[in-house]
Amino acid sequence: MSSPNWKWFIEFTHPTQAHMHGVKDYIYSGKTQFQEVEIVETDFFGRCLILDGKIQSAQFDEHIYHEALVHPAMILHPIPKRILVVGGGEGAVLIEILKHPSVEKLVMVDIDKEVVEICKRYLPSWSQDAYEDNRVKTYFMDARKYLEDNTEKWDLIFMDLTEPLDDSASYLLFTKEFYSLVVERLEKGGSIALQAGNFNPGLFQCHAAIYNTLKLVFKHVDSYGTFIPSFDTKWGFLYASLENTAFILDPAKIDEKLSERNIRGLQFYDGLTHVHMFTLTKDLRELRARETRIIEDNKPLFTY
C-alpha cells in the first residue's frame, strides 16, 4: 500500500520506463570526480548503492548478482590462481572470489577510490574483511591503462562495471579494442566474466552488441542471466574463454566441483542454478542472433 509519507527513488531504464523504490532514509549523497553516488535505505531491499541514478547492488539481493558474476567462471576454470577484477567498488566480488582456496593473487583496479571508501564506510558487509586479505591488492586508476602498462597475465578477469553511459568512465571498457587487450593479458585457458546489461527484450540490444564484440576475439562466448529483484528485471552476464573445452552444463559436475573446493554457504549458486542461468529462452536467442552491431572505440554503444 502506498503512503503519502514515503520518499521515492525513481530509476529510469528508458525514457518511458522506470522503477520506483520507497526510501526510508538517504544515508549519503555526493559526487566524485567520475560519478554521482547515493546510499539509500529502502523499505523493500534494504541499503542500496546507486551510481548515476542506477541501483548497482542492494542489501536484499547483492548475493545473487555477485555469486552469478563470479562462481560460474571460477568453477569452469580448473585451478584459478591469479585473478584480476576491473571495477568492483563494493568489494563483494572479492569476497566471492576468495571463497575458492586456489586463489593466490587477487588484484582489483577501480578508477574511483572515493566510491570504494564510501562503500567501506556505509556498506561494510559487502566487502567484509576482503581488503585486509594479504592476497588482495587494489589500484585506483583507469583499468585500460593498467592493462596497457602491465604485461602480467591472469587466469581470470572479472569486469564489474557500470553500464556504458555517454558520460561515464566505463564506456571504453566495452569495445573490441579493449577486449583484444584483455585477451593478451590472459594465461592459456584463461577466461573472463562480466555484467552485460538488461535481459528485458526491449532493452536487449546492449547485451547482444557486447556478445557480438566478444565473439571477435574469444573462441567461446556464452550469455547467461538471472532475475535480480532490486533491478526488477532479469540481468545479463557474459562468459568468454580462450578455449572451447572448459564449458560444463551438467549440474552434478558443478556441484562436485563446489564440493571439491569446500565452498559452502552460497545462497544462490549451485549446479541447477548454473544450468538455469545458461539456458536462454528462444526470444532472447533470436534477438541476439539478429543484432549485428560491434562496439569499437570510435563507435561506442551507450545505454540510457
Alpha carbon separation from 304 to 52, 82, 142, 174, 237 (Å, rounded)? 11, 34, 23, 15, 18
Contact 280, 149 (CB under 8 A): no
Statement: residue 2 has pLDDT above 60: no
Burial 256-286 (b: 16+ CB within 10 A, else e): ebbeeeebeeeeebbbebbeebbebeeebee
What is the grid cell recorded at 130?
Answer: 576482503
Structurally, what CATH architecture does the domain formed by 62-290 represent? 3-Layer(aba) Sandwich (3.40)
Domain ranges of the chain: 7-57, 62-290
CA 140/CA 118 separation, integer angstroms? 14
CA 156/CA 14 separation, integer angstroms? 33
pLDDT in tens, 93-112: 999 999 999 999 999 999 99
User: What's the pTM?
Assistant: 0.93
CA 59/CA 82 separation, integer angstroms? 28
Tell me: domain 7-57, CATH 1.10.30.50, correct? no
pLDDT in tens, 4-19: 577 888 888 778 888 8
Residues with catalytic roles? 160
pLDDT value at residue 169: 65
pLDDT in tens, 246-283: 578 899 999 999 999 999 899 999 999 999 999 999 99
Q: Are strands 154-160 and 36-42 parallel, antiparallel or unpaired?
A: unpaired
